[in-house]
């Protein structure tokens, strides 16, 4: 067995896999050997796999008010059983001075942020690498009078077929004098990481995206929005990143819809999408949870749980574990609710009320510019890792000696 210093090769690589991404970013400048190893796409994939199994956190975006009375964004990580959290030092254009910046999605350590007007940004907080996406390719139709265009839907995810990350944008067009709440028509475009440009996709957008708090969710290779079809029915609109197709998923038929005093949020729980129904206002709120046990099948919606009534809780944010949900309090503090013992905890995390948004997150070395394409081997076993180690290290030796 060959050694590196006093360590066997396999042990050396196992140690590197357990280091945080920030530490590895510094380690790659130690020497050519380490640089070529840490920047190797196969190592990046193995490191990502390890973090998915062992180091899953919650990424939180919130707004704080400065001493000058201005709102600023702040990204934080909530980790561990003891709810430890760390603020991320992210230096991005518009990040601090754009209080309406939305946290759209996360995939493999990369997050997507946007102001829903003219700014879409991909960022890896661990590597501090970022990229602003180019302008839209969709037409503005200046020759049609009284036609207004607006970005109504944005989503971010991973295409397992082509092994690349994608952003999808839905642009809707209204006739100013038409007097309808629904757009005249909508068009969609996709930007693939590494391509550097948008392309319009020739598909029909079968529903119109509407706002609902904490609803936009990436799951099962598709991004999901709250929407309304042409008949005025509330639905879930999804976009499959691999097929580049839209799908309409029906809401549960046995819950009261078209009630504007009721909020709907979409979360991921136990590897299923979960619809949370709760009142918009109230001193105490109850939260009904409906789970779609078979994805895309309306009849599989099941009312599995009711939380509460709980005082001082504004809305659900994310399932941190299968038995724990993080929630935003009425006065801008984060809270946790344990589904087993029904215990509510106030966490020492505060922000402007209704400014909280969250994602399940892992740190990674993945580049936002697509230079290290993922292998989509997220279910690799220990056997694959053992067989792979020597091959990777031998190739790194050759490369380092050549350079």
- Could you report the per-residue pLDDT of 17-62, keeping only the tens digit for each? 999 999 999 988 888 888 888 999 999 999 999 999 998 999 999 8
Query: Environment class of residue 156 by beta-carbon count within 10 Å: exposed (0-12), middle (13-18) or buried (19+)?
Result: buried
CA 215/CA 334 separation, integer angstroms = 18
Q: Which residues contact 353 (CB under 8 A, 6 or more apart)?
A: 314, 328, 330, 331, 332
Top pLDDT among 380 and 226 is at 226
Cβ 361 vs Cβ 106: under 8 Å: yes
Sign of the alpha-carbon dihedral angle for 97, 102, 105, 106: positive
Helix 382-402 with 41-54: angle, nearest 10 deg: 140
Q: Which residues contact 375 (CB under 8 A, 6 or more apart)?
A: 41, 42, 45, 163
Instruction: Say what the pLDDT of residue 383 is.
Output: 38
Q: Which of 92-96, 154-158, 312-316 has the lowest mean pLDDT?
A: 92-96
Q: Which residue has the tokens 């590895």?
A: 24
CA 132/CA 325 separation, integer angstroms = 32
Cβ 194 vs Cβ 167: under 8 Å: no
> Average pLDDT over the chain, rounded to whole?
83
Cβ 351 vs Cβ 74: under 8 Å: yes
CA 248/CA 61 separation, integer angstroms = 29
Q: What is the reported pTM?
A: 0.86
Q: How confident is residue 206, by pLDDT bands cut at 50, 70 and 90?
A: very high
What percentage of the chain has pLDDT greater than the value 90?
45
- The vertex-134 CA angle with 236 and 124, nearest 5°, equals 75
Instruction: Say what the pLDDT of residue 379 is.
Output: 45
In the predicted model, is pLDDT for residue 142 greater than 70?
no
Tell me which DSSP letter residue 389 carries.
H
C-alpha closest to that of 317 among 291, 348, 356: 356
Instruction: Say what the pLDDT of residue 89 is.
Output: 74
The reply to whether omega before 136 is within 30° of 0 (cis) is: no
Instruction: Say what the pLDDT of residue 261 is.
Output: 82
pLDDT per position as a tens digit, 337-376: 999 999 999 998 999 998 899 999 999 999 987 655 554 5
Pairing, β 272-279 against β 147-159: unpaired
Query: Environment class of residue 68 by beta-carbon count within 10 Å: exposed (0-12), middle (13-18) or buried (19+)?
Result: exposed
Q: Which residues contact 93 (CB under 8 A, 6 or more apart)?
A: 121, 132
Could you tell me how far CA 159 lies from the centroid of its own chain? 14
C-alpha closest to that of 276 among 212, 345, 332: 212
Tell me which DSSP letter residue 69 carries.
S
Two structure tokens written together for 67? 């001493």
Q: Which residues contact 144 (CB under 8 A, 6 or more apart)?
A: none
C-alpha closest to that of 373 among 123, 33, 36, 44: 44
């Amino acid at each position: 067995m060959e050694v590196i210093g006093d360590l066997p090769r396999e042990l050396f690589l196992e140690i590197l896999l357990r280091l945080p991404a920030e530490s590895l970013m510094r380690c790659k400048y130690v020497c050519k050997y380490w640089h070529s190893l840490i920047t190797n796409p196969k190592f990046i994939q193995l490191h990502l796999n390890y973090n998915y199994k062992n180091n899953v956190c919650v990424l939180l975006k919130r707004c704080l008010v400065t001493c000058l009375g201005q709102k600023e964004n702040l990204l934080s990580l909530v980790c561990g059983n003891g709810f430890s959290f760390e603020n991320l030092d992210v230096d991005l254009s518009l990040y601090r001075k754009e209080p309406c910046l939305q946290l759209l999605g996360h995939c493999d350590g990369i997050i997507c942020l946007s102001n829903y007007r003219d700014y879409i940004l991909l960022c890896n907080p661990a590597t501090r690498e970022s990229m602003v996406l180019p302008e839209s390719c969709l037409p503005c139709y200046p020759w049609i009078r009284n036609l207004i265009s607006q970005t109504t839907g944005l989503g971010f995810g991973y295409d397992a077929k082509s092994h690349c990350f994608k952003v999808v944008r839905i642009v809707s067009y209204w006739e100013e004098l038409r007097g309808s709440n629904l757009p005249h028509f909508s068009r969609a475009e996709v930007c693939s990481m590494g391509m550097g440009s948008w392309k319009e996709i020739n598909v029909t957008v079968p529903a119109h995206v509407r706002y609902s708090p904490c609803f936009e969710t990436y799951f099962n290779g598709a991004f999901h929005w709250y929407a309304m079809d042409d008949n005025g029915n509330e639905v879930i609109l999804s976009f499959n990143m691999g097929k580049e197709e839209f799908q309409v998923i029906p809401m549960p038929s046995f819950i009261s819809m078209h009630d504007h005093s009721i909020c709907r949020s979409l979360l991921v729980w136990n590897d299923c999408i979960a619809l949370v129904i709760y009142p918009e206002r109230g001193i105490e709120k109850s939260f009904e949870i409906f789970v779609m046990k078979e994805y895309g099948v309306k009849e599989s919606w099941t009312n599995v749980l009711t939380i509460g009534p709980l005082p001082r809780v504004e809305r659900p944010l994310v399932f941190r574990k299968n038995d724990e949900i993080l929630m935003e309090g009425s006065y801008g503090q984060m809270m946790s609710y344990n589904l087993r013992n029904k215990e509510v905890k106030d966490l020492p995390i505060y922000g402007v009320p209704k400014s909280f948004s969250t994602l399940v997150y892992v740190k990674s070395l993945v580049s936002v510019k697509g230079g290290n394409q993922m292998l989509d081997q997220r279910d690799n076993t220990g056997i694959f890792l053992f067989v792979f180690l020597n091959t990777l290290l031998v190739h790194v030796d050759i490369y380092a000696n050549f350079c």
